[in-house]
A and B are shown apart, each in its own frame.
Chain A
Amino acid sequence: MISVIYILWLREVKKYFRSPGMMIGTLGSPIMYLGVLGFGLGPIFQRAGEGSYLQFMAPGIIGMTILFTSTFSGMALLWDRQFGFLKETLVAPVPRLVIMIGRTLGGATVALCQGMLIFGVSLIAGFRPAGVLVVPTAILLMALVALVFSAMGTIIGSSLKEMQGFQLIMNFLVMPIFFLSGALYPLKNLPAPLAVLTRLDPLTYGVDGLRSVLIGVSHFGVVIDVITLIGIAVLLLAVGAWRFSKIEV
């Protein structure tokens, strides 16, 4: 079983490292957010007495990168369905759960790598975390966020039958998750409806946790963030496993 999980994990990771084009391509939008918003809104943010905007938003952009990459790699299920490889794995004498775990861990790993890449980019842009020692903890948090959204991607990928639903998911799920997460703005003094929505968003806890670890600014406190993320991860993985078991080939 472990060898099956490993080989399916390895497949995702290999494919990622083999396509530097995709690796760099998906860094485009986070870099734009960092560069344009970071420096463009920076002066206003500073004038409002909130300090450096780049410092504030870099953890949010790392979270966004992980959100996008892991959701997409979960949805790569759709490609595998279309190009047949999914069938190859689903007719093997292996429990589906094992296959789902291998794929999801692979997707999460890819997203984590992508998150670390954008972390590196933000360092170049001038982002300064509280110290070197916080980095390992930050990576653990990133991994947790990657797991949450890879599981979400698996749920979507198992539930959709065609690529047509992709835009729908992008505009009505992934983008709202990003915008509601507080990646771009502080969570305090929000209008009540927005405050409620941000609290329902899993990424909110990921970004808040990262902010807490990296720059020492937190809304909920890192402990609550981590507990919430673990809870959501378990829930989504369970739903993902269930949806995956229902795929018909």
Chain B
Amino acid sequence: MGGDLEWVMTESPPAIRVEHLVKKFGDVTAVDDVSFEVRRGEIFAFLGPNGAGKTTTIRMLTTLLRPTSGSLTLEGLDPVTQRDEVRRRIGVVFQDPSLDQDLTAWENMEIHGVLYGVPRTERRERTEKLLALFELADRRTSLVKTFSGGMRRRLEIARGLLHTPKVLFLDEPTLGLDPQSRNQMWSHVQQLNASDGVTVFLTTHYMDEADRVAGRIAVIDHGRIVAIGSPAELKGRTGTESLEAAFLALTGTAIRDETAGATDRMREAGRMWGRR
């Protein structure tokens, strides 16, 4: 039995394998010698305070950033040298919204499908299916700007799944959502993970969410992984009752401030101009 399992594991590469990953921005080391593996079909959570290196890691895994050193593979492929291959196999829901709000839900899906080369019939069928699954079917012809925050998030996840990715990246997908929407969103993600076996890599600030949905959790702080294991293991290791207490025990209680980047400032300007 154990032998069989080992055979399966060596035969197919893990969904994500990261070894001694380093990313430096000038003098700042954002990600410092990080190694971990995400198994196929797993829901894996990446937790850490602001500026811990979560988004930088996601950006490297999703081909947006080149690592300074170390190796990473996604489904056995290298995001640097096999960029388009990797892109076809991943779905990404960014921390910031990336929908076109002046188009309808259907049109946003349609553009995504064309960009990822999903054939027309399959594109339509999957769009129908995903919009129904994420409870957006009756709003398919509405402009996205009329959607609530929760609906937009759901649409982004549905869109990220349109090209049947092997790995779905969710970078703080529930940021700014009310508890109902958060709850509903995770139900959908868990359902998809169970039915299609899609691997999910997520980051979140909400410990209760990670506790609820993730099979394993990596806690990252100051660019280094400080703990990795199932929610129960992390609680056991720190001798704490809740994951939140475990997280604070692992990362300390000091507040982290991120400096506002150009995008943040521009979003501010955008609000002033009355656009969302």
Contacts and interface: CB of A to CB of B under 8 A. Distances in A.
Interface of A: 3-4, 6-8, 11, 14-15, 18-19, 78-89, 91-94, 161-164, 249
B226 to A, nearest CB: 29
Q: Which of B85, B98, B101 has the most CB of A within 10 A?
A: B98
A6 B110 CA distance: 12
Interface string B114-126: 1111000000000
A15 B96 CA distance: 22
A162 B269 contact: yes
B25 to A, nearest CB: 12
B154 to A, nearest CB: 16
Interface in B65-105: 83-85, 87-88, 92, 94, 96-103
B265 A92 contact: no
Given A88-B115, A93-B116, 5 more contacts: A4-B115, A8-B111, A14-B107, A88-B98, A93-B117
A87 B96 CA distance: 10
Contacts of A86: 98
Interface in B225-276: 262-263, 265-267, 269-270, 273, 275-276
B89 to A, nearest CB: 9
B262 A84 contact: no
Contact of A84 (B84, B98, B110): B98
Nearest to B88: A93
B114 A3 contact: yes
Given A91-B64, A93-B84, A82 B112 contact: no
Contact of A91 (B62, B85, B262, B266): B62
A163 B270 contact: yes
A84 B267 CA distance: 10
A15 B102 contact: yes
Q: Which of A79, A86, A88, A162 has the most CB of B within 10 A?
A: A88
Contact of A162 (B64, B107, B114, B262): B262
Q: Which of B62, B262, B276 has the most CB of A within 10 A?
A: B262
B190 interface: no
Interface of B: 62-64, 83-85, 87-88, 92, 94, 96-103, 107, 110-112, 114-117, 262-263, 265-267, 269-270, 273, 275-276
Nearest to B98: A84
Given A15-B102, A87-B94, A161-B266, A92 B64 contact: no
Contacts of A4: 114-115
Contacts of A82: 263, 266-267, 270
Q: Which of B101, B103, B114 has the most CB of A within 10 A?
A: B114
22 contacts: A3-B114, A14-B107, A15-B103, A79-B270, A80-B100, A82-B263, A82-B267, A83-B270, A83-B276, A84-B96, A88-B99, A91-B64, A92-B115, A93-B84, A93-B88, A93-B116, A94-B115, A161-B262, A161-B266, A162-B269, A163-B273, A164-B269
Contacts of A93: 83-85, 87-88, 115-117
A98 to B, nearest CB: 10
Contacts of A163: 266, 269-270, 273
Nearest to A1: B117
Q: Which of A6, A11, A92 has the most CB of B within 10 A?
A: A92
Nearest to B62: A91
Which 4 pairs of residues, A with B, have the shortest CB-CB distance? A84-B98, A92-B115, A93-B84, A93-B87
A123 to B, nearest CB: 31
A11 B269 CA distance: 24
Nearest to A5: B114
Contacts of B262: 161-162
